[in-house]
Every structure is written in structure tokens, then in C-alpha cells.
Chains A and B, each alone.
Chain A
């Protein structure tokens, strides 16, 4: 019976053109604005400008980037800073996001819609506003930070954070965390809402409540969402540029202490002040960013995503 119907359907199955037709617009747009420029960048990184003409140079640009001590110092410095930027987000932004989501999903909390909106608002602000506002807040001259610390008698703890090599990057990472903590919060909040009440009730019947309920029941159920958030954070952080640029400028001072791959790429590609832009070396850095993100995403997909256990209700 089943064999017969299968053959039957195979005979009559028409070519399903509509799938191709429906996919075409998205595919075309995506190809034009994402895939072609990506390959254009990769191609640009293999060329060099010799006497105003583009000359194929093989992997020479990559050799310069890793072989020349100045280029490689800048690159590793930017990569190191970028990694620290990412670590702060993973250690601060995502746990706080989970915590906020857990609090918000608690049925006893009043005004949860207000908190949800208030915490999410910074995410929709422009980088320029965030960078400018925080620069003012932390300003040693007119900022509210030194005054607030003074009010509680802790003025001595104030440091011009954005101007000190040892603090600037951490301070900027925390500003970025402040801005984006709403995203993990929302995603995890949604995941928590989708946990069926029966599961929670069953847990309560078995005497699992409060913190151990979160730890043993809810956390395993939201792990896939946390995985997605981690990878989004990774991609977002290694593509970051705007906040550093708007707060510290393209030279990512002091002494390149806040230079991340994005600002390094910008400075190289477009040039800065008297430095003339070098599109080929810029494309080389952009290609390295692409490979780093690609490697990170692949690692996640093959090593972690497949091992995450999913529960179906």
C-alpha cells in the first residue's frame, strides 16, 4: 500500500517551480549585497597596487600582515583586544541577561513590561548617541560619574577610565554590555515563556522549587537559546567597530589600547589623517576577520550545537 502510493506520487510529482520562484528574490538580493562583496573583498586581498595598477600578488598581503613585525603587532594587538571584548560580553552581558530574564519571567514581579522595555531601549539607540553620552558621563571635567562618586565619598575611586591604557577597553566593553544586554534578555525570556507549565508544576510536585528549579529544570531547557546568544555575541563582537570609533576615534587610543579588528580595518582601508588608505591591506584584514568568524561559527556548529540536547513537549 505505502510502496504503491510512493511510486504513484513520484510519477506525478511536477517540477516544483514555485520553490525556486519564491526563493529567487531573497537569493538575488542576498547574493548582490552580501556574497558578491564578500568575494570581492577576498579577491581584493590577493592584489596589490603597483604604480596605480592592481597586480596579482598571491598571498603576499597575508605574508606582510603576519610577517612584518609592525603589521603583525597591530594585528595581534587588535585580535587580543577583540578577544577581551568578547570575554567581557560572555562573562558579564550573557549572565546578566539570563538573570534579568529569570527575574522577568517570575510571575510575582510587578511592572515587568516596564522593566522589559526600559532595559531593551539602549539596544535601539544609535552608537553615536551611546558613545557620546558615555563619554560625557565619564568625563573627568563635566561628567556625572565623578560627582556621583563624590556624593558617596568615593571620589578617590574615580579614574579617567577612557583615557587610561589599562582600563579603556574594559570600560568600553561594559558600555557595550549596557547597550546590548537587552538582546540576550529578550531571547532567553522568550525561551523561558515557552517552557510548558506542566513541567514546572511537575517539578513543584516533586519539591523542586526556587533556585534549584531554575538550575535543574529551566536552565537545561534554555541551553539552546544560550548557545544561539553566544554565537550572536561572538559574531557581533568580532564585527564591532562603531562604539570604539565614536568614543575613541579611529586611532583607538590611548596607545592603541582599544584597537579592535574593526577599527584596525577602518584605519587601514580608508586611511586616517595623513595616512593614505590601502584598500588591499584593508581587504586582507577584512578577510582575516571573515575567516576568524567563520572558524568560530563552524566550531560552534560542529562541536557544541550538535551536542546540545533538545527537549520536545
Chain B
């Protein structure tokens, strides 16, 4: 008993003692992220702006490679060595919230700046608790080489027929590879391909929610048709596209060797610095002229608080700042292509980013179909879609067979709530 008291006293004094030291010193917050491309922007723009306004708090941005982020983060959270602030993937962060590893931020000051749709990717299914501050969304579309289009006299395609006519024309000319995309990294085919053109077929939110409710199946025509269109892309891709990686595709386009790049808006900032020619963008072409257009405006990044963070108060100060219009303005302009989810409108200077964001007015936005709920089980629908989209473009699997396999995998664990 005496022993325990003594140990307790010693431990308490050591904790209090270090706490005292910590109070006197600057608090350091570490941000876990997969956006290693953004390191410079955090270090040069965002963090100095915050530190200037909040002396006494230091912030370190510590990114991991994108495909390894989830695995590395889960391991760190389990081991208790994760940073104070956790960058949240849309929808999957619910798992670490349920495990109690990230904190409930529903009552955080600044949360009122976001709409329910913006918060949906980081809420419990009943919408009662929000656990990440929404940071940005990305929009899918096609970026094209304006000079190539002018030289060949091609108008920006609005319908699918025009789109394929343009590709044919570029191919016949032979100076440019019509489309820069490879299937080696798999996700290009799914994210820039299937999820890019798909919403026009399954009518955005309507189809996505019907899939979750079990009213539609991936074998229905509106879900198979995007695969069939993807299969038609094959002749327009570069030689050896089967072994072309994502950086290869980016370089092909920015070096001016390809005319069209199936894109996500996150490419804008890298393309702006690398490409020597003028670029334009168009939304995924609709099937018939006059059809409603749908775009993938995907809530992509949020920021959460590690429940075990020793600096929770400082971290909350930081999160409130992230929720402010000030952060939104710096972020959206430093990273054109990551569009703020903040309700207050943000003025952006980049013309390409303005073009992307203008589609929000004329088209109906949706998010990627595989993210909410449908990727909670094994096999994981998102990862399977990567493999199947690549197969379809490679021509090793028919659109119907790929869709059937996906539905079979989904049926094996997913029971829609009716």
C-alpha cells in the first residue's frame, strides 16, 4: 500500500513536472497526412500564417506516401505514436472514430462554417457526430492542351460523340498521343476513368444512393455503360500504356506530348508549374446534347484530432483556424484544384481552377460511388474497382464480366438496409 502510494506520488510528480515544463515551452503539433506533394505549401504558407497569429504553438507537417498512409496511420494510432492532428480520408475515418482514436469535434468552434453535405464524409451514419474538419474537395474532368486543340481546329467536346471525334482527329494527325493515361498503377483507370465519366451514366447522387439502398446493382446498364466507354479508350492511349505509371502520364501531358488528360483538379498546381503551354478543362461529356451533366465533386480531405493527443487544446485552436475563411482562402489559392468546402465563398485567382469550380453551377455534383459504406467490407469495392477498370481498359475482361464480378464481391458482405 505504502509502495503504491509512493509510486503514485512519484508518477504524478513526474507527469505534473513535465507538464509544467511543457507549459513553459512551445507546444508542437504534428500533422499526419498523405499529401506529401503539399509539404512546401504547408511549410511556407499555412504554418507560418498560423504561427504568427498563435505564438507558442509550433506545427510540423509530416506526410507519408499516399497508398501507405492508411496502413501506417492505423499502426501508429494502435501503437500510440501518431501525431496530434490526423488528416482524414473521406468515409473511412469512421473506423478510427469508432475505435475511439480520434475525437468528436461536433462542438468545435468553426464547425458552423460548413454545410451538412460538406461534413457528410466525416459524420457518423446518423449525422449526429462530426469528427473531422472538412478541408477540401476535388473535382474530376479532363484537362486539355489548348495549343494542340487550336492547331488541329478542335472545339471543346460537350457530348460523347464529339469527344470521340476529337480523339480520332488527334490520332489521325499523329503529332500528339490523344489521351495520357496508363493502367499500371490501376487507380488511374478507376479514379480518372470510371469515377470521372460514370456520374453522367448513373445520374450522380441518384444512382449512388440507390446503390447503397440496394435499389440498383452494379450489373445494371447505367453502371456497366461507363466500363463499356472506358473499353473504347484503349486505342487512344499511348504505346505500352499497360506499363505506364501515374507520373508517366503526368509527364506525357506536361511535356506536351499528349493532348487530353483525364484529370482530377488536384493536378492543377503541379501542371501549372510544369506545363509550358496553355491548358483548358472540360467536364465529362454527356451522352446527348442537352442532357444534365453530373460531376464528381469529391469531399477528399478533412482534419481530425488524435484522441490521445497531449496537446488537445492547442490542436483545437489549430482546427478552429482550419475551419476559418482565412485558412480557406490561403489553402484554395496555394493549392488551386483543392476547392474549399467552407460556406463563405473563396476568391480564387487561377483560371484553370475557376473553370473547374464553375461546373458546380451548371452540373449536379456527386461524390465517388465506391466510398460511402460500400468500401467497409472485404473485398473492398474501391480497390476491386481499380483492378477491374484497368482490366477493362487493357481488354482482358469484358465490361459485363467486370461489373458482374464487382457485384458478386459486394453481395458477399454488403446487405443494403431496406
Contacts and interface: CB of A to CB of B under 8 A. Distances in A.
Interface in A221-277: 248-251, 253-256, 270-277
B23 interface: no
Nearest to B375: A274
A270 B73 CA distance: 10
Contact of A162 (B89, B184, B239, B382): B184
Interface stretch (B137-145, B212-220, B388-396): B388-396
A139 interface: yes
B358 interface: no
A248 B380 CA distance: 19
Nearest to B249: A141
Contacts of A273: 67, 70, 187, 380, 382-383, 386
How many residues of B sit at the interface, in one of the four size bands?
Answer: 35 or more
A249 B71 contact: no
B186 A251 contact: yes
A160 B241 contact: yes
A178 to B, nearest CB: 18
Interface in A133-185: 135, 138-142, 146, 158-165
Interface in B221-248: 238-245, 248
Given A141-B238, A163-B243, A249-B186, A274 B67 contact: no
B184 A163 contact: yes
How many residues of A sit at the interface, in one of the four size bands?
Answer: 20 to 34
Contact of B380 (A161, A164, A274): A274
A60 interface: no
A163 B183 contact: yes
A135 B396 contact: no
A-side interface mostly: loop
B242 A164 contact: yes
A194 interface: no
Contacts of A274: 70, 89, 91-92, 370-371, 375, 380, 382-383
A147 to B, nearest CB: 13
A163 B74 contact: no
A52 interface: yes
B74 A276 contact: yes
Interface in B364-418: 370-371, 375-376, 378-380, 382-383, 386-387, 390-391, 394, 396-397, 409, 412
Given A140-B239, A254-B242, A254-B391, A271 B71 contact: yes
A271 B245 contact: no
B99 A52 contact: yes
B92 to A, nearest CB: 5
Contact of A272 (B67, B183, B412): B67
A12 interface: no
B219 to A, nearest CB: 18
Contacts of B394: 163, 165, 254
B71 A141 contact: no
Nearest to A64: B378
Interface string A66-95: 000010000000000000000000000000
B40 to A, nearest CB: 23
B185 interface: yes
B186 A270 contact: no
B252 interface: yes
A278 B240 CA distance: 35
Which among A249, A256, A272, A275 has the greatest number of chain B C-beta atoms within 10 A? Answer: A275
Contacts of A163: 182-184, 240-244, 394
Nearest to B240: A140
Interface of A: 52, 70, 135, 138-142, 146, 158-165, 248-251, 253-256, 270-278
Given A251-B387, A270-B74, 18 more contacts: A70-B378, A70-B409, A139-B244, A141-B252, A158-B240, A160-B241, A163-B243, A163-B244, A164-B243, A248-B184, A253-B390, A254-B184, A255-B397, A272-B71, A273-B67, A273-B383, A274-B380, A274-B383
Question: Top 4 nearest A-B pairs by Cβ distance?
Answer: A140-B240, A163-B242, A160-B243, A163-B243
